[in-house]
Amino acid sequence: MTVTIVGAQLGDEGKGGVVDIYGEAADVVVRYQGGDNAGHTVVHDGETYKLSLVPSGAVRGNVGVLGNGCVVNPATLFDEIDELRERGLEPDVRVAERAHVILPYHRVIDGVEEDEKADLAAGTTKRGIGPTYEDKAGRRGVRVGDLLDPGVLRERLEYVVPQKRALATEVFGIDLEGEVRDAFDIEVLFETYREFGERLAAEGMTVDCGTFLQERIDDGEAVMLEGAQGTSLDIDHGVYPYVTSSHPTAGGATVGTGLGPTVIGEGEVIGIVKAYLSRVGTGPLPTELGGVEGQTPDYDAETGADDDAEELATYIRDEGGEYGTVTGRPRRVGWLDLPMLRHAARTSGFTAIVVNHVDTLAGLDEVKVGHSYTMRTRDGEERTLTTVPPTTEQWARCEANLRTFDGWPEADWAAVAEDGWDALPEAARAYLEYVAGELDVPIYAVGVGPGREETVVREDPFA
Ligand code: GDP
Ligand code: IMO
Ligand code: MG
């Protein structure tokens, strides 16, 4: 049986923590898309693990697989594995031979293109994700399986690297100096990636993903599919072009692993929801509070937003730790956005949700949600929408119609988690019941703190 975990919003909903909790019953945890643009936090036995590529389940001894839908930076992969080993774990990680490889030139181009794009830039993580998926679709990519065969690797590099050099120097005007020169040097790339291939082979890490997983399912094993990013970052269903280049939605779980949709559809698809919104990057966000310079479109540092919104945003940002893990940049925050969640529930066919960060909102007098949007059309007409419009330009013309809920007080969250659903503050339950009712799905768990034990677990999807 499978359980698929999907981010319902804009990433960082707490997917890693949920994979850790429900992954206890799983034998295998598979990532089906994305690469080291993800940042999944697992707090386990008092230790915090931040994983960008290795599936979160590896922390508790599950077999971790990077599916064919992923883009793999072998340098990051081995760094993470080595660090986990140094910390006393024995991660068992497999990589799909069909997965595409992120090469150093992808990273260089990602960085430069973001600067070129100006207002169209998504604020990428500069990990080379977009350029690698472009090469995959352009049929000039290097796959993990190619690293195991030096002849094939050389042939692929000899075809693609001259094109990348021309793109870098002639289109983007990059000086190929030092490390940047090595990123476009066939011999350096060949030697480095051949060695990665040798290590993958020596550790027996590569698999034919779909076959590997199906055999385990046929043997009665439990497989968890771990999405990265979130629905509104999906290249088709998100805020294009301020999106990532893969499919975080549940359809990505089938194409990105080689398991059929009927196999995945037999299991549960659980949407992970943060009780408010956070966003790293640009694009419209109708329920945004305050704003962040350099990320909020048209943000005016002089006037900013109104003081109350700014104060609330700072409160939620500080309580929720909404600062970039690498750069420390403040994340954009906003109220929960129901049109975004209805869209997510439909695109992935959620069978249940988990709502995290309910503790973060504690202490506010009132909590708001964007229940619907009023979209002003080009002709000045107003339309009410209950889900997100298809174009980002339309989305930018949406204003959120807010509903107000009573706030809830701080609590001893570990005790609440132990005592269960009824121990949650009444106002928090009313809020959660509203969300579940609107999406017409049950809530399987509620996050009331970052730790594993700070979770109100109502259902185990593998049970
Ligand atoms: P992911 O990318 O979806 O796996 O989420 P991240 O790990 O990037 O971000 C979630 C952050 O919030 C992490 O620091 C978690 O430890 C933390 N977190 C997760 N759930 C909760 C919760 O219910 N309450 C609080 N306060 N923190 C949480
Ligand atoms: P997890 O798995 C939040 C955002 C970037 C940028 C856009 C494209 O931790 O939830 P990319 O580097 O993928 O080309 O960037 O997507 N982004 C994320 N935001 N959480 C993530 O992952 C993200 N991965 C990418 O900020 O706006
Ligand atoms: Mg994250």
Model pTM greater than 0.95? yes
Six-digit token string for 191: 């030697």
Confidence of residue 51 (pLDDT cuts 50, 70, 90): very high
Pick from 389, 364, 363: nearest CA to 376: 389
Distances from the Cα of 292 to the Cαs of 75, 188, 334, 384, in angstroms? Answer: 32, 41, 11, 27
The yes-or-no verdict on residue 305 having pLDDT over 80 is no
Of residues 399 and 300, which shows the higher confidence score?
399
Return the ∠ at Cα 369 (arms to 365 and 375), rounded to 5°: 140
* Residue at token pair 């009665």: 220
Q: Which are the catalytic amino acids? A: 12, 40
**Does residue 55 contact residue 268 with C-beta atoms inside 8 Å?**
no
The yes-or-no verdict on residue 119 having pLDDT over 90 is no
User: Best substitution site from 13, 124, 237 to test ligand 2's pocket, by max atoms within 8 Å of Cβ?
Assistant: 124
Q: What span, in angstroms and rounded, lies between the C-alpha atoms of 343 and 53?
A: 27
CB of 450 shorter than 6 A to ligand 1: yes
Question: What pLDDT score does 290 carry?
Answer: 86
Helix (H, G, I), strand (E, B) or coil at 359: coil
**Does residue 357 contact residue 14 with C-beta atoms inside 8 Å?**
yes
- The protein residue whose alpha carbon is closest to atom 16 in ligand 2 is 244
Confidence of residue 326 (pLDDT cuts 50, 70, 90): low
- Cα(9) to ligand 1 centroid in Å equals 13
**Does residue 186 contact residue 104 with C-beta atoms inside 8 Å?**
no
- Cα(451) to ligand 1 centroid in Å equals 9
Give the number of whichever ligand sits closest to the CA of residue 40: 1
Helix (H, G, I), strand (E, B) or coil at 332: strand
Q: What span, in angstroms and rounded, lies between the C-alpha atoms of 187 and 420?
A: 59
Four-CA torsion 235, 236, 238, 244, nearest 10 degrees:
0
The yes-or-no verdict on residue 304 having pLDDT over 70 is no
The yes-or-no verdict on residue 191 having pLDDT over 80 is yes
Q: What span, in angstroms and rounded, lies between the C-alpha atoms of 263 and 269?
A: 12
* Residue at token pair 């190619």: 146
The pair phi, psi for residue 227, each rounded to 5°, is -75, 150
Pick from 237, 426, 459: nearest CA to 353: 459
Measured in residues, the chain has a length of 463
Q: Which residues line ligand 2 (CB under 6 A)?
A: 7, 11-12, 37-40, 122-125, 127, 129-130, 228-230, 233, 242, 244-245, 280-281
Q: Closest ligand 1 atom, CA of 48? A: 16
Instruction: Kindly state the average pLDDT of the residues 107-121.
Output: 89
The yes-or-no verdict on residue 217 having pLDDT over 80 is yes
Question: What pLDDT score does 44 carry?
Answer: 82
The yes-or-no verdict on residue 171 having pLDDT over 90 is yes
Confidence of residue 291 (pLDDT cuts 50, 70, 90): confident
- Cα(413) to ligand 1 centroid in Å equals 15
Q: What span, in angstroms and rounded, lies between the C-alpha atoms of 374 and 377?
A: 10
Confidence of residue 155 (pLDDT cuts 50, 70, 90): very high
Helix (H, G, I), strand (E, B) or coil at 68: coil
Instruction: Kindly state the average pLDDT of the residues 27-36.
Output: 97
Give every CB contact of residue 7 below 8 A, 6+ residues apart in sequence. Answer: 13, 15, 227, 228, 229, 230, 231, 233, 248, 271, 272
Instruction: Kindly state the average pLDDT of the residues 430-449.
Output: 98
